[in-house]
Amino acid sequence: MKTSKSVILARVFFILIATLIGCWIGLSRERTIEYSLIAFISSLIFVVFEYSTNIVSSKKILMAAIGLFCGLAVSFLIYPTIPEGIMSQMHARIVCNLLFGYFGVVLALKHEERFTLSRLRFIITNPTGAASIIDTNVIIDGRVIDIYQTNFLRGPLIVPNFVLDELQLIADSHDPQKRARGRRGLENLERLKKANAQLQIYEKDFDNIKDVDHKLIQLAKEINGSILTNDYNLNKVASLHQVQVLNINDLAQAIRPAVLIGDAIKIRILREGKEENQGVGYLEDGTMVVVDEGRVHIGNSINVVVTSVLQTSAGRMVFAKIRSSETVIA
């Protein structure tokens, strides 16, 4: 996810303030340069560590923290048993903390797949906009990328782990067509991530539910989110469970042009167009209709045939020509 300018500025100020504090401490000990350098390097290492949390998944961070805590707990029990003849208690504690802390972190990360965080919610829905859960079909379809870039989707986009597993299964299929669809889905996910989408991986699974569609419905109920899909059957089943569904096909149907190429419509020519012999009229919804050779019919209603429809961010424009058997209606 793209780092905001305010976060970058906060990091710069943190390094600067830490360096100044090091300088201030060094003044009292007449070692200003050394303490300033130590503070600068330490704050820089801390910022690098903080930045790395954007790359590592939440589950890995939590498992590493649990492993470290367990390792330090074991160290607390072990180091007092080391005889002082071997090393002092302080040295024994440092060595044990280092060894068992490292062992706990590595052990937890190596075996993280054996643990489930199904009872923890990593996704907290935004009160101003519910999260949208993406299903496999929408990922393969790819239109969600364009919809997101137009800022019509609010809140985070969630891809459950079980959807990723299904997508990976399709991409590894022996069927060339299925394999191509699966790889297209993986490419679309990468494009969506690069579009600075609030894309989050939800790690919870429902082992007692086998069907992916019903897993999506259950997840939507738990986080009070919506399902983003183009699957007609999933749409119907989710509606029965009173789960909100955002169907891309319904959206496309709702914003389709009021008229299509080849449609015959009646239009009243109100004024002349920019080009020679053009006439301009308007549909009931205010859409401009430019009629070729319609200038001579200004003030009259005529039957025309739509030849093209131009959709822009400013609105829709329809181009038409007069029907060959046209008679002027005053």
C-beta of residue 305 within 8 angstroms of C-beta of residue 264: yes
Rg (CA), the chain: 32
| Angstrom distance (rounded) from CA 303 to CA 291 | 10
**CATH architecture entry for 264-322:** Beta Barrel (2.40)
Structure tokens given for 217: 């419905």
Average pLDDT over residues 5-13: 77
Q: Does domain 132-254 have CATH number 3.40.50.1010?
A: yes
**Residue 128's pLDDT band (cuts 50, 70, 90):** very low
**Residue 248's pLDDT band (cuts 50, 70, 90):** confident
Domain(s) labelled CATH 2.40.50.140 in the chain stretch across 264-322
Residue 119 has pLDDT above 50, yes or no: no
Residues above pLDDT 70, as percent of the chain? 86
Residue 279 has pLDDT above 90, yes or no: yes
pLDDT value at residue 120:
45
- What pTM was estimated for this model as a whole? 0.47
Max mean pLDDT range (3-7, 193-197, 300-304): 300-304
Tell me the three state secondary structure of residue 112: helix
Region of poorest pLDDT, from 50-54, 98-102, 240-244: 50-54
pLDDT value at residue 57:
61
**Residue 4's pLDDT band (cuts 50, 70, 90):** low
Region of poorest pLDDT, from 49-63, 94-108, 248-262: 49-63
Burial of 118 (0-12, 13-18, 19+ CB in 10 A): exposed
- In this predicted model, which residue has the larger pLDDT, 153 or 4? 153
Domain(s) labelled CATH 3.40.50.1010 in the chain stretch across 132-254
Average pLDDT over residues 11-35: 81
